[in-house]
A = this chain, B = another copy of it.
């Protein structure tokens, strides 16, 4: 039975805060997913194309994609299977380490990105960045960064950090 202590916990403002975060994020994802679907992409597929497009030489290892996304290595295999079937990416063997598979964005993959991006950014502007003042937005991003660094300390590397060692990149 729910006693007083539990009643307090049920109504705890911190739980509501998490609910708010998840509803905002989930709702935004749903809006963005609708536009991506118009271009034949699932959100996770778009994320992978985007990360490849943002990477030097437009390529990443399977493992990098696993670390940067929320997918397991198995999950990355399946998604890349689909993307490769659709000719949006290709697997490329690494010559210096034959365990490694590089995933490379194809011209078709780049075209798809170019196709999707304008509308994508437009929706973000409408449903997120355009709703808040510059100071508000900046404050929220600063807070989110603090949270992100704490809950996902390993994923701090963004588009700027070279995940692949230089020598391996050159040797591909």
Contacts and interface: CB of A to CB of B under 8 A. Distances in A.
Interface of A: 1-3, 6, 9-32, 50, 53-54, 70, 107, 110-111, 113-114, 117-118, 120-121, 124-125, 127-129, 131-132, 136-137, 139-148, 150-152, 155, 158-164, 168-169, 172
A30 B160 contact: no
Contacts of A16: 158-164, 169
Contacts of A128: 14, 17-18, 21, 147
B20 A141 contact: yes
A127 B147 contact: yes
Which secondary structure dominates where chain A touches chain B?
Answer: helix
Q: Closest 5 A-B residue pairs measured CB to CB? A: A27-B151, A27-B152, A25-B25, A24-B148, A9-B117
Contacts of A124: 14-15, 17-18
Number of copies: 2
Contacts of A152: 23-24, 26-27, 30
A114 B2 contact: yes
Nearest to A154: B27
A28 B151 contact: yes
